[in-house]
Amino acid sequence: VGKWRERHKLPTPDAELATDPVWLAATIEPLLAAGGPEPKAPGQRLRTFNVTARMTAGPYPALTNAHRLNFQAAISATHRTGYHEPPTVLWDMLDQAVVTIECEAHEALAAAETVRSIIRRNAEFVAHIGVRDIQVISITPSPN
């Protein structure tokens, strides 16, 4: 009931006491008989996705090992408490990195756009790496 109150899913109280609102049986029983308030639509709940993307660095400025290390540190810093897997960065080519980040979103496409934004922002503004392209390789729901 506390969650229903927080989410404004209950009808207007019939009275307010010093401690809590009060509903008459005639007000609240029809809602309870129907199984309670309607739950959120499944598409509206946040889900956790693992997103893997390939970032291709641009030709300017020149990509150095210091830039690569700064990018890896910046991506690692995006790890939030509560996420299961820390982000990873694998430089498999001189100018390309494969980045995997766990992300919360309503749907897979929104998770992909969020990860693209995280990669671009950390590459360009933190590590000072020009970004030519970011291609999402895979999006999978997190197992937990």
pTM for the model stands at 0.68
Mean pLDDT across the chain: 88
Q: How far is CA 21 from the centre of its chain?
A: 35
Q: Give residue-wise pLDDT tens across range 57-84.
A: 998 888 999 999 999 999 999 887 777 7
Confidence at 28, pLDDT banded by 50, 70, 90: confident
Q: Tokens at residue 80, please?
A: 């939030």
Q: Give residue-wise pLDDT tens across range 92-135.
A: 988 999 999 999 888 899 999 999 999 999 999 999 999 999 99
Spatial contact of 99 and 53, defined as CB atoms under 8 Å apart? yes
Confidence at 19, pLDDT banded by 50, 70, 90: confident
